[in-house]
Amino acid sequence: MTLYFFERIADDDFIGPVIVAAPDETTAWGLLAGRERADVDALKALGWQIAQDLTAVPSRPTIVYPSHYRRAILS
C-alpha cells in the first residue's frame, strides 16, 4: 500500500493535503475522484496533482515533505 498526498494549488486557493492509501496511482486517483465527485480528467484540469507518494513509513521520526517542497529547499 502506498500513501498518495494530493493537493491543488491555484492563484487564490490551496487544497491539501488529501492523503489516499491505495495499491497504485490509478486507484488513488479514482478514490480522490469519488471524494470530489468528479472524474479524474476534470480533477487534473483543475490542477490537482500528486505532491508525494510514500511507499514506506520512515524507520525513524522525520518530517515528510512533498517532493516539490524538497526541490525548493534544495535549490
Q: What is the pLDDT of residues 35-56, one digit of tens each?
A: 999 999 999 999 999 988 888 8
What is the share, in percent, of the chain residues with pLDDT greater than 90? 53
Q: Rounded CA gap, 39 and 42, in Å?
A: 5
Between residues 58 and 22, the one the model is more confident about: 22
* Closest to 22 in 3D by CA, of 45, 9, 5, 39: 5
Range name among 8-12, 47-51, 69-73 with the lowest pLDDT average = 69-73
Helices (H), 1-75: 25-36, 40-45, 67-74
The answer to whether the predicted template modeling score (pTM) of the entire model surpasses 0.85 is: no
Mean pLDDT of 56-62: 84
Domain ranges of the chain: 2-74
Helices (H) and strands (E) in the chain, counts: 3, 3
Q: What is the DSSP letter of 17?
A: E
pLDDT of residue 54: 86
